[in-house]
Chains A and B, each alone.
Chain A
Amino acid sequence: MSVIEASHLTKYYGKARGILDVSFQVEEGEIFGFIGPNGAGKSTTIRLFLSLIYPTSGTATIFGKDAIRYGPELRQEIGYLPSDVFYYERMKVIDLLSYSASFYNRDCTRRLHELAGLMELDLHRRIEDLSYGNKKKVGIVQGLLHQPRLLFLDEPTAGLDPLMQRKFFQLIQQENQRGVTVFFSSHILSEVQRLCNRVGIIKEGRIIEIADIHTLQQNNYKKVRVVADRLDPAYFDLPGVTGLEHHNGVVRFFFKGDINAVMRRIGEITVSDVTIEEPTLEEIFMHYYE
Chain B
Amino acid sequence: MSTNIFKQEFGMHLRSVITWSVAIVAIMLLYFSIYPSFARDAELLSKMMARFPKELLNAFGLSGVDLSTLLGYFSFVYLYVQIMLAIQAANYGVGLVSIEEREWTADFLLTRPVARHQIMTSKLVAALTSMAITQAVVWISTFGCLTAFKGDKTFETDILVLLLLGLIVFQLFFLTVGLVISLLVRRVRSVTPYALALGLGLYVLSAFGDMLGESKFELLTPFKHFNPHYVVQHGAYDLPLVMISVAAIVISVVASYWLYLRRDIPAVA
* A is bound by B: yes
Please give, as numbers and ranges, the residues of chain B lying within 8 Å of A103 by CB-CB distance: 2, 4, 112-114
A87 adjacent to chain B (CB < 8 Å): yes
A-B pairs under 8 A by CB, number: 66
**A113 vs B187: C-alpha distance when bound (angstroms):** 36
A99 contacts which of B4, B110, B264, B268 (Cβ < 8 Å)? Answer: B4
Please give, as numbers and ranges, the residues of chain B lying within 8 Å of A199 by CB-CB distance: none
A-B contact pairs, 15 of them (CB 8 A): A47-B265, A50-B111, A52-B265, A52-B267, A53-B265, A54-B264, A80-B107, A83-B268, A86-B268, A87-B105, A99-B8, A102-B4, A103-B2, A103-B4, A103-B112
For chain B residues 112-137, which have a beta carbon within 8 Å of chain A? 112-115, 118
Indicate if the CB atoms of A84 and B268 lie closer than 8 Å: yes
Least CB distance, B108 to chain A, in whole angstroms: 6
**A105 vs B142: C-alpha distance when bound (angstroms):** 46
Q: Mark A256-268, 1 if CB is under 8 A from B, else 0.
A: 0000000000000
For chain A residues 79-94, which have a beta carbon within 8 Å of chain B? 80, 82-84, 86-89
For chain B residues 12-67, which have a beta carbon within 8 Å of chain A? none
Q: Which 6 A-B residue pairs are closest in the complex by CB-CB distance?
A: A86-B104, A75-B113, A103-B112, A53-B264, A102-B4, A76-B113
Indicate if the CB atoms of A86 and B115 lie closer than 8 Å: no
B269 adjacent to chain A (CB < 8 Å): yes
Least CB distance, A232 to chain B, in whole angstroms: 49
Main secondary structure of the interface of B (DSSP, over half): loop
Indicate if the CB atoms of A104 and B113 lie closer than 8 Å: yes
A100 adjacent to chain B (CB < 8 Å): yes
Whether A86 contacts B103 in the complex (CB less than 8 A), given A80-B111, A102-B4, A104-B113, comes out as yes
Total number of A residues with any Cβ neighbor in B under 8 Å = 31
Please give, as numbers and ranges, the residues of chain B lying within 8 Å of A75 by CB-CB distance: 111-114
Please give, as numbers and ranges, the residues of chain A lying within 8 Å of B267 by CB-CB distance: 43-44, 47, 52
A142 adjacent to chain B (CB < 8 Å): yes
Please give, as numbers and ranges, the residues of chain A lying within 8 Å of B118 by CB-CB distance: 72
**A44 vs B265: C-alpha distance when bound (angstroms):** 11
**A84 vs B105: C-alpha distance when bound (angstroms):** 11
Indicate if the CB atoms of B107 and A100 lie closer than 8 Å: no
Least CB distance, B205 to chain A, in whole angstroms: 33
Please give, as numbers and ranges, the residues of chain A lying within 8 Å of B105 by CB-CB distance: 86-88
Residue in chain B with minimal CB distance to A86: B104
